[in-house]
Structure 1
Amino acid sequence: MPWLLFLVNVVSAMTSANEIADYFRNCLSSGSSVYLTSDPASVNATTPRWDLWSAPTYIVAVKPALRGDVQKVIEYASQKNIPFLTTGGGHGYSGTLGAIKDGIQLDMGNFNTVFVDADKNLMTAGGSLRFRDVAAAAHAKGKSTTIGACSCVGIGGATLGGGIGFYSGLYGAISDSLHSVDIVTGTGELLTASDTENQDLFWGIKGAGFNFGSVTSFTYRVHDQPNGGMVMNADMTFTGAQNASIWEFSKTMLGTQPPELSLVFAMRYDPEKSDIAIIVNAIYAGPLEDGKALLEPLLKLEPTNVAISYIPWKDAPDTAVYGITKMTCASSYTYVPHAINLYDINVEALSELTKHVYNVTSTTPAVQGTLFTFTQYASQGFRANSDANMTAKGRVGSSFPYREPTVFVQIDGLSFDPSSVDALDAFGNEIRAQLLELSGQNHLELYSNFARGDEGAEAWYGTENLPRLQALKARYDPKGLFSFYNPIGGGKQED
């Protein structure tokens, strides 16, 4: 693969940026926009990348207005061997994207409408919309759907990787709610994939969709919002000395928490207090008093800070964890990710790991920007949408592989100083390896949208799914055009 990527970049360099831009200006519809990335105007006209680490580079940015324009961009890039990346919200941060050099940014910013058909329980969203856009639209019609933890993230990219969020206990992965998509594949075909059309492709899109094409439109099933559209948001802060009790609560809840409840355990070193700070966030889609009762074991620990509110579900991402996720949406960062799935909570081992984290972060300023997040969603929604259950309903299943009780762990290194990136990366890799060892698993598994990019296709998509996914790759993207974001292999660029 490395020599082919090198060849792609060499060949693309032979086609000048001006030549590419002129071609698109002449052939795309009048509503499309084309920018040279050397032009300062392109910065505000296109979607910026949120993570500055391992970033792709572009020489031309194109904002197509029509699906046919998307086809033309893909066909041209294919003919000229120019790497390209389809961007929506700009939050895809896998390190695999750094392989794109001097490419084309295919910015889906003009596909930005959302329509909710309350009678049919369907919502259609353009390829560039963010969670906050669809949440507001659905809530306004008395509906709900699974959205992720950060309101500024694009729903399209999240969906293509499966997608998880605080309503997953009720509805499963975000992709489980898909009704259909319109996609331009690597072969240049404009297709609709659904339970009745191109079913094999639809299965692959729901969990590994980055590998097959550019989606211009997503249609989701939506649901009558539970509890009148209101949720409890609770944030509690604990000291490092209380970590064992926190892990005990996590262990008690794993596999038993009600579907209305989601839990996040976030841990970081606090230089001001010279201690580990642990924040627990709980979102509960039910009566306020019922939610508080579920948290009673935590409240009895006398957290150093408690903030409990009762809010519309659409506002939960910007409220959760004291609003920290909303603040991080405001600008770009250098952010080095590592991740792993855990299927059990080993209280003693995690307590020892917490002590190790304290020992390292308290003495190594370069890694003090590391945030450890353990996210637990109830498994009922995931299990209800398994392949077997979906088949029984006459619907297409999903390539999203992780449906048993899971803790989605992120080890995220946030750097404000470029000189600390290597230390953050090494520390994240070390902690990931320790978590794998304490888990008792013999191989790494993780949610693909949290990936660093070095874990491999089996870890992202599941060993059992890979042969089927690679067969789909050979059918819908035989030249491997869509092989820069956590690729499954099987296309020309991976051969």
Structure 2
Amino acid sequence: MASREVSGAAVKGLRAGFAGEVIMPGDPAYDAHRSVFNAMIDRRPAVIAGCANAEDVARAVRFAREHGLEVAVRGGGHGVAGRAVNDGGLVVDLRRMNAATVDAGSRTVRLGGGATMGDLDRAAGAHGLATTGGRVSTTGVGGYTLGGGSGWLERKYGLTCDNLEEVELVTAVGEPVRASATEHPELFWALHGGGGNFGVATSFTLRLHELPAFSFGLLVWPSEAGPEVVRAYRDFMAAAPDDVGGGLLYLTGPAEEFVPDRLVGRLTCACLLTYAGPLAVAREVIAPMLRLGHEGELLADMPYAEFQCLLDAPPGYRNYWSAEYLAELPDPAVQAFCTRAGDMVVPSPSQHLLLPQGGAVARGAADHPVPWRTAPWAVHPLGLWEDPADDARARRWARGLRDDMRPWSSGAVYLNFIGDEGGDRIVAGVGADNHRRLAAVKAAYDPDNVFRLNHNIAPAPAAV
């Protein structure tokens, strides 16, 4: 979209009474506020509305419509496609709205639309509580939850959307709406995986669970041990209790004390085992994985909120991600997964991930528009690298892994794990029948498709 000029008088009108900050090109803070997690994204919005409350959000949406500006919504800014910013439009920046208020009696937390996982985890953890959150602390709660919400605790507590009690949002005409099981129930259903298509979410209320202890193990092998380790991990997870989470991954051996020098900077195979309980118990549960001859080991009790920060990727890297959800993981699929790891950009923070589902994920509400919950496994090439010369190689690796896994695919996909991969993948992310139902909800709440910078579902009235 071509850059637009917005008159000084118009901006002055927006700023009048605006509780947050309105940022324009040329302002000292402009470049910092337009940057997102994926360093491949370089877009220049005409206006950045740093909102402090829901009324700011409503005013920003109305301003954008009055002046013909495309609307982008920014929470954490982690979406790999970079749709949290645009060229020549208006960005509704929610980062100031990051309060996290816990009601320990009802075991709920109310979160501002710009809160991150770190805000959620620290607030809940202070009361010995937690809920499923993203796998790094800097991910925004908003886009993550609206897309379904997959994380380390999902086998124990379900997807984040399974724990959603209420959402407050601003619609495309700048009006506040509260969605819950009893208010706007069809919209509330749509917010369990339908993404940011229906409005700007200004607050979320999530259900919390007791988590008095948390522990983990990170085991490291040379990459050539990968096929044996993956097969053992597959068999281990088939019988593992719901308290066990984590994943199997290939990564660059980090320069950490627990990693042997000969594996530092090399492609390695690692197994992350999380446990919703103390390490003393976890050791017994994960004993089959501890007997596989790993060369590096880190085992620890750790508050969940601190653990969530361990895998935070530093900003400034170029990013490309994709995913495939698997109906089964036979030996040929294991071999294909391991072989493709050799195409990763190494050294880099990239991760070649195999994630288990099952447990509370599979038992969750079948009605929600998250058809990928029934797959027992997901492969997730998560590419991060520095040199633009590696762009083609990183994309080829990610797409190649998807191609390799397609014979065992369930056909569904978690949209938060992918960028712009076309309309068919959006349908696969929510399910064909759900897609038609979501399009009708979209027609009711955003008939002009104002909120289209997302995995977009075009408005279409329900068939009579």
TM-score calculated relative to the size of structure 2: 0.90
| Cα contact 1:340–1:410 (8 A) shared by 2 | yes
Output the CA distance in 1 between the equivalents of 2:81 and 2:245. 25
| Cα contact 2:266–2:347 (8 A) shared by 1 | no
Determine if the alignment matches structure 1 residue 483 to structure 2 residue 456: no
Determine if the alignment matches structure 1 residue 473 to structure 2 residue 442: yes
Residue in 2 that maps onto 1:372: 352
Output the CA distance in 2 between the equivalents of 1:370 and 1:288. 28
Residue in 2 that maps onto 1:422: 392
Amino acid at match of 2:70: P
Determine if the alignment matches structure 1 residue 304 to structure 2 residue 295: yes
Output the CA distance in 2 between the equivalents of 1:220 and 1:288. 27
SS in 2 for 1:265: strand
**Selected match of 1:151 from 137, 148, 151:** 137
Q: CA 1:293–1:239 in structure 2 vs 1: closer, same or farther (change >3 Å)?
A: same
Deviations 1:49-74 (A, max 9, x none): 11122454312211123312211211
Residue in 1 that maps onto 2:44: 57
Output the CA distance in 1 between the equivalents of 2:15 and 2:304. 43
| Cα contact 1:34–1:60 (8 A) shared by 2 | yes
Output the CA distance in 2 between the equivalents of 1:491 and 1:367. 47
Per-residue deviation, 1:458:
1.3
Output the CA distance in 2 between the equivalents of 1:183 and 1:98. 17
> Counting helix residues as a fraction of each chain, which structure ranks higher?
1
| Cα contact 2:167–2:201 (8 A) shared by 1 | yes
Residue in 2 that maps onto 1:3: none
Residue in 1 that maps onto 2:11: 21
SS in 1 for 2:30: helix
Residue in 2 that maps onto 1:394: none
Residue in 2 that maps onto 1:78: 65
Per-residue deviation, 1:366:
8.3
Residue in 1 that maps onto 2:219: 236
Output the CA distance in 2 between the equivalents of 1:86 and 1:201. 19
Deviations 1:229-260 (A, max 9, x none): 21121000012222122221232145532111
| Cα contact 1:367–1:420 (8 A) shared by 2 | no
SS in 1 for 2:64: helix
| Cα contact 2:122–2:305 (8 A) shared by 1 | yes
SS in 2 for 1:484: coil
Q: CA 1:58–1:406 in structure 2 vs 1: closer, same or farther (change >3 Å)?
A: farther
SS in 1 for 2:384: strand
Runs of 4+ in 1 over 3 A off after TM superposition: 17-20, 54-57, 253-256, 268-276, 365-370
Output the CA distance in 2 between the equivalents of 1:440 and 1:149. 23
Summarize the alignment of residues 79-158 of structure 1 with structure 2, pairs less than 5 Å apart: 79-94=66-81, 97=83, 100-158=86-144
Summarize the alignment of residues 211-290 of structure 1 with structure 2, pairs less than 5 Å apart: 211-225=197-211, 229-268=212-251, 276-290=267-281
**Selected match of 1:33 from 10, 14, 21:** 21
SS in 2 for 1:403: helix
Deviations 1:350-394 (A, max 9, x none): 224423442x45xxx6897642111224x232244314xxxxxxx
Q: CA 1:119–1:428 in structure 2 vs 1: closer, same or farther (change >3 Å)?
A: same
Per-residue deviation, 1:491:
6.7
Output the CA distance in 1 between the equivalents of 2:440 and 2:403. 31
- % same residue: 24
SS in 1 for 2:218: strand
Q: CA 1:269–1:121 in structure 2 vs 1: closer, same or farther (change >3 Å)?
A: closer
Q: Which moved more, 1:190-199 or 1:163-172?
A: 163-172
Output the CA distance in 2 between the equivalents of 1:171 and 1:419. 42
Q: CA 1:384–1:413 in structure 2 vs 1: closer, same or farther (change >3 Å)?
A: closer
Deviations 1:408-463 (A, max 9, x none): 321122221112212311232122111113x155x4x3211111211431122222
Output the CA distance in 2 between the equivalents of 1:201 and 1:474. 11
Output the CA distance in 1 between the equivalents of 2:409 and 2:247. 23
Per-residue deviation, 1:38:
2.9
Q: CA RMSD in A?
A: 2.5
Q: Which moved more, 1:139-148 or 1:345-354?
A: 345-354
Residue in 2 that maps onto 1:382: 361
| Cα contact 2:325–2:375 (8 A) shared by 1 | no
| Cα contact 1:127–1:217 (8 A) shared by 2 | yes
Deviations 1:60-110 (A, max 9, x none): 211123312211211221233211211111111236x39932221111122
Deviations 1:149-207 (A, max 9, x none): 10111112211111011221122111111111110122332100001100000010111
Q: CA 1:472–1:308 in structure 2 vs 1: closer, same or farther (change >3 Å)?
A: same
Per-residue deviation, 1:16:
2.8
Amino acid at match of 1:433: D
**Selected match of 2:413 from 435, 446, 451:** 446
Output the CA distance in 1 between the equivalents of 2:301 and 2:148. 28
Residue in 1 that maps onto 2:168: 182
SS in 2 for 1:23: helix
| Cα contact 1:117–1:123 (8 A) shared by 2 | yes
The runs of 5 or more residues in structure 1 that have no matched partner are 1-8, 388-396
Output the CA distance in 2 between the equivalents of 1:103 and 1:20. 14
Determine if the alignment matches structure 1 residue 333 to structure 2 residue 317: yes
Residue in 1 that maps onto 2:147: 161
| Cα contact 2:47–2:90 (8 A) shared by 1 | yes
TM-score calculated relative to the size of structure 1: 0.84
Per-residue deviation, 1:40:
2.5
Output the CA distance in 2 between the equivalents of 1:424 and 1:332. 16
Output the CA distance in 2 between the equivalents of 1:16 and 1:142. 49
Q: CA 1:94–1:406 in structure 2 vs 1: closer, same or farther (change >3 Å)?
A: farther
Q: CA 1:350–1:276 in structure 2 vs 1: closer, same or farther (change >3 Å)?
A: farther
| Cα contact 1:87–1:106 (8 A) shared by 2 | yes
Output the CA distance in 2 between the equivalents of 1:70 and 1:106. 7
Amino acid at match of 1:295: I
Amino acid at match of 2:22: V
Amino acid at match of 1:336: Y
Residue in 1 that maps onto 2:259: none
Per-residue deviation, 1:333:
1.6
SS in 1 for 2:193: helix
Q: CA 1:367–1:452 in structure 2 vs 1: closer, same or farther (change >3 Å)?
A: farther
SS in 2 for 1:24: helix
Determine if the alignment matches structure 1 residue 42 to structure 2 residue 30: yes
SS in 2 for 1:331: coil
